[in-house]
Each structure stands twice: as C-alpha cells, then as structure tokens.
Amino acid sequence: MTNNKIGLKEAISIGIGGMVGGGIFAVLGLAVNLAGGGTPIAFLIAGVLALLTAYSYTKLSLAFPDRGGTVKFINQGFGKNVGSGGLNNLLWVSYIIMLALYASAFGSYAPNLVELTGDKVLDAHVFSSLVVVVATAINYYSISVVGTIESYAVIIKLIILISFIFVGVYGLFGNPNRSQLAMSTWENPIQLLAGGMVIFVAYEGFELIANAAPDIVNPKKNIPKAYFYSVIFVILLYLIIAVVTVGSLPFDQIAKAEDYVLAEAAKPLLGKIGFTIITIAALISTFSAINASLYGGSRVSYELAEDDELPHELTSQLWNQPVGLLITATATLILTNTLKLASISTAGSLGFLVIFGMVNLVAYRLARDIKAYKVIPFMGAIFCFIALVALIGQQYDSNRTGILISLAIMTSCFLLEWLYKQRSRNRRLIKAKPNSFDKGVS
C-alpha cells in the first residue's frame, strides 16, 4: 500500500474482516437449531446470495467509486427521494442492529470466561452494555486506535478459526456425532432457506469494500478480485465451521449452548483449553466488529444528513466526532438490552435483504451503464425478495416478535423520511412566500 492507497491484500482484508466479525459467533447455534444437519447447506445458500450481490457491488463500485458506498448506489439508481432516503435510513438502522447482534454475542461468550475463574457474578447484559460503552469511548478517543485494533483482530481471529477448522476436521474421524450430517437429519428446503436467511447477517460486511473503492490501486483489476476472493473465502470458512460443529456435538448439546456453540464445539478434542481459546477469539472478534461498526454507522448518518436525507443537525460534532456516534451507541444499548438474540438476528437479516435486493435492482436497471450482465443482478434481486418472503413466513410463527419489530423498524424508516421531506418542503415554501408587509410596501 503506497501513498495512502489500498492494495489488493488490504481490500480483501476489508471484505473478510467485515464478514468474519461477530456474526458467525452469534448465529451459528441458531442456524443449527433451524437447519439441523443441513446447516452447511443453509450457510451455502446464504453465501450464494452474497456472491450474486457481490457481483452487483463490483460493477457499481467500478462505475461509481465513492466513499458513500451503498448510499451512493441507491441514490444513483433511484434519485434522492423519499424511497431512497428511507432505504438509506434503513441502512443506518441495520448497522445499529448488527451492533446489537455483536454486543449480544459478546455478552453470551464473556460470562463463560468469567465462569472458568469460578467467579460468575455478572450476567450477559452487563457485559453487552459494557463493551458498547468501552468501544464508544475508544471511537471518541482516537480513530487511529480503532484501525489498529481492527487490523490486529482480523489476523488473530482468522488464525484461531483456521486452527479450529484443522483440529475439528481431524476430530471428526471416529466421532459418532458425524452421522448428524446425513441428509436424513436435514430440515425441509423451506426451513433450510429460512435458516440460511436468518444467518445471512454473517455475510454482511463485504459491502464495506465499496466505501474504500476510490482508494483501491488498479481498481478495474483489484475491485472484482477483492469482492469475489473475500466472499468465496468466507463461504468456504463458514461451510467447514458448520460441518465441524454439527459433526462434533449432539443436537441437544448445541441447543443448550446455542449462544456460544462455537466454543462448546472446541471441547471434544481440546477440552477447556479449546473452549477458552474460542471464547477469547469470540470476544476479540465481536469487540473489533463493534469498534469498526460504530465508526461506520456514525459516518452513514453523517453522509445521510449531508445529502439532506436526515436532519442537518446530524452533521454537527460532539467531542470532535459526528453526533451520530453517540446516537448509534445509545440505540445499540437499547436494542441489546430489550431484544433476544434471535429477534436481533432476524431484524438484521431482513434489513440487509431489503437493502441488498434494492442494490441488485439498481445494478439491473443500470446494467448497460455499468457494463453488467443483466441476468446476474436480476437473479440477485429475485433471490433476495424470495428469501425475504420465506424468512418472514417461517419466522412469523416461531419468532413473531422479531418479525413485527423488524417490519415496524422498516416502516418507521420510510415514514420518518416522508415526514422530514414534508417538513423541509414546508419550510422552503414559507421562506419563498412574501409576507403581508412586503405586499403592502410593494
């Protein structure tokens, strides 16, 4: 990397680091409970959707390189109106939901580490809240520290996860639970699709490459490689992790340890040492993801305010950082302490399915301008919306609260944007209309 430019390795690291954050630690147990022995297939389904969407992001990043990333693409495809404003607001809210997911995962793993010392005195919500407060303080203290933490965390968590894979695959030989991977243990296709979509949040993060597109060296060559190499690597990583987890632990044990199942899966071969190492990896991963997402979320709110899609007051600063940082952190704390992990995961997946579906639609509409094959973004958009319907249908019975909250959040994003546009329009009309004194003088 030279002259503040981003090379291919750094660009791939952005994509992998964005995806392999807290998502896999948070949703793996939930995925197994939904998809059974077909969990690897559920991850594959979600990965294929991520890969299709990555194609649209690739073409749009090459045609419209901008640090606004997704915000820029939506505005480019639909113009600046209530619809695009509502979608961009949903993007900001979805980042907040992801933050709540990471914080909840941190809170699920942290008590286990304390319990190993024989002194379990704090519950998950205390740890979840504490990590958000600490990460917010670091963001206010120094952005460079945020970047440093993220760069080291990516290396540490990948080393630990890849080591877990090698040890876990070796441990599958002779493990009686390996039979749980048989097709007879798979859930039905609709359940597999719904399971894949609930865990779709584990692939969220590759779109961060779009925000770095203006700084990537040799963009025509490196931007496509960055997207596809990072997504394909993470698909393979998740597939093997899912295979090892399902093949290592009985289903009832996975259900019991749903919120920290990856650490539990390290026990059969490595005992408490393995459990401790994976727990530490989860804490590092979720903490770094919270750190980076707080920074990214506050920037999204700032850009939306600059584009007149949110009140201009959000462009103001508090302690040398956008005021959106404090709002994002506060909203994260509220969600983390009021919603269950399953509801947070569902809300996050629904939000990003809508956003990615619309980005695919933008790529389809602008296919000629961005030199894209129309069929790929079309498939991506259709797949996103089919998955959206399947997820709502499947979760409505088992997680009705999560679905209703998700739909309420989406509706609020568009309703608040419409109200803001109406207020702005009325203010412009009042300023443009001459008052009665002016009429009398004339």
Helix (H) or strand (E) holding 187: none
- What residue ranges define each of the domains in the chain, with the CATH number in brackets? 8-433 (1.20.1740.10)
Residue whose tokens read 């933050």: 99
DSSP 365-415: HTHHHHT--THHHHHHHHHHHHHHHHHHHHHHHH-HHHHHHHHHHHHHHHH
Confidence of residue 47 (pLDDT cuts 50, 70, 90): very high
How deeply is 191 buried, as exposed, middle or buried, from its count of CB atoms within 10 A (0-12, 13-18, 19+)?
middle
Q: What are the tens digits of pLDDT across the range 317-363?
A: 667 777 778 888 888 899 888 878 777 877 888 888 899 999 999 99
Per-residue burial over 143-169, b if 16 or more Cβ lie within 10 Å, else e, is: eeebeebbeebbeebbebbebbbeebe
Per-residue burial over 264-301, b if 16 or more Cβ lie within 10 Å, else e, is: bbbbbbbeeebbbbbbbbbbbbbbbbbbbbbbbbbbbb
Query: Does the structure show a pLDDT above 50 at 9?
Result: yes
Q: What are the tens digits of pLDDT across the range 93-124?
A: 888 888 888 888 888 888 877 765 555 556 78
CA angle 224, 12, 166 (to 5 degrees): 120
Instruction: Tell me the C-alpha to C-alpha distance, in Å, between residue 382 and each of 235, 345, 357, 371.
Output: 21, 22, 7, 20
Among residues of the chain, what percentage have pLDDT more than 70?
A: 90
Helix (H) or strand (E) holding 252: helix 251-256
> What is the pLDDT, as a whole number, of residue 4?
60
Query: Does the structure show a pLDDT above 70 at 233?
Result: yes
The pTM assigned to this predicted structure is 0.83
Query: Does the structure show a pLDDT above 60 at 440?
Result: no
The Cα 8–Cα 381 span in angstroms is: 28
